[in-house]
């Protein structure tokens, strides 16, 4: 696959964050969990727990200079099924890998599925809309594509391991498009480390709920 095809087939990306997160994200960038812990100077013991153990609940962070942030829970990632479907990594290694990246859906139906999941459907979230071409132009070397929902093992978990995430150039898009259609040819787009220049690639931020309900627009770029 090449960058132009990625942007053509999936012109918009979606990231779902905890409600109230945009102020911090706008200031510091959309950071991976690992990068966020660095910024908030989290001590080694707490850091190891957050990065290498499944989070059944979200974890609030506070810093005298940087304010507050929230590390999202991993409710859809069940440990037993995850251990059984990992091919060449330990559970701790897989979790650390996930925590080194930020994740985007490539279409709105996948976003709606997460918004409507049992753990989240009663709450509003900050949804960040991103221009794919702009993100790719700046971060293609850090982008990784996945054919599965890497953070969920609720239903019929698929095998996963060191080969799950591929660069844009490595990704077998045509084969997967023929087998599963464009909508499911790529399930996730991840960016290693995060997107510190998120304001430059975002097109809109909404406070949004399941079912497509938008409470209000939080941010849009200046005209």
> pLDDT (tens digit, 9 = 90+) per residue, 137-160?
999 999 999 999 999 998 889 999
Q: Among candidates 142, 194, 182, 139, which has minimal Cα distance to 165?
A: 142
Q: Among candidates 58, 12, 63, which has minimal Cα distance to 33?
A: 58
> pLDDT (tens digit, 9 = 90+) per residue, 66-108?
999 999 999 999 999 999 999 999 999 999 999 999 999 999 9
Cα 41 to Cα 47: distance, rounded to the nearest angstrom: 9
Give the model's confidence band at 214: pLDDT under 50 very low, under 70 low, under 90 confident, else very high: very high
> pLDDT (tens digit, 9 = 90+) per residue, 21-42?
999 999 999 999 999 999 999 9
Is residue 166 pLDDT above 90, yes or no? yes
Is residue 223 pLDDT above 90, yes or no? no
Average pLDDT over residues 102-127: 95
Written as one string, the DSSP assignment of 76-138 is T--HHHHHHHBSSS-HHHHHHHHTTEEEEESSHHHHHHHHTSTTTTTS-EEEEEEEHHHHHHH
- Please report, to the nearest 10 degrees, the dihedral formed by the alpha carbons of residues 165, 112, 77, 178 taken in order: -40
Tell me the domains of the chain and their CATH numbers. 3-219 (3.90.210)
Read off the pTM.
0.96
Mean pLDDT rounded to a whole number for the chain? 96
Is residue 136 pLDDT above 90, yes or no? yes
The per-residue pLDDT for 102 is: 98
The per-residue pLDDT for 64 is: 97
Specify the 3-state DSSP secondary structure of 166: strand
DSSP state of 201: H
Q: Among candidates 115, 117, 130, which has minimal Cα distance to 209?
A: 115
Let me know: does 100 contact 193? Beta carbons within 8 Å. Answer: yes
Helices (H) and strands (E) in the chain, counts: 11, 11
Percent of the chain with pLDDT over 90: 97
């Amino acid at each position: 696959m090449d960058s132009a095809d990625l942007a053509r087939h999936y012109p918009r990306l979606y990231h779902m964050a905890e409600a109230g997160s945009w102020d911090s994200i706008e200031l510091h960038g959309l950071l991976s969990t690992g990068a966020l812990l660095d910024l908030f100077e989290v001590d080694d013991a707490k850091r190891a727990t957050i990065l290498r153990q499944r989070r059944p609940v979200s974890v609030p962070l506070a810093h005298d200079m940087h304010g507050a942030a929230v590390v999202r829970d991993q409710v859809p990632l069940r440990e037993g099924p995850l251990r059984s479907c990992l091919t060449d990594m330990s559970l701790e290694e897989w979790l650390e890998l996930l925590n080194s990246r930020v994740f985007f859906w490539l279409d709105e139906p996948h976003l709606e599925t997460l918004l409507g999941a049992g753990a989240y459907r009663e709450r509003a979230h900050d949804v960040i809309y991103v221009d794919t071409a702009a993100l790719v132009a700046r971060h293609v070397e850090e982008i990784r594509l996945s054919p599965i929902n890497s953070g969920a093992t609720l239903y019929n978990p698929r095998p996963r391991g060191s080969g799950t995430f591929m660069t844009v150039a490595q990704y077998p898009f045509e084969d997967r498009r023929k087998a599963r259609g464009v909508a499911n040819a790529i399930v996730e787009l991840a960016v290693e480390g995060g997107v510190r220049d998120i304001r430059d690639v975002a097109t809109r931020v909404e406070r949004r709920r399941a079912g497509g309900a938008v409470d209000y627009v939080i941010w849009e770029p200046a005209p």
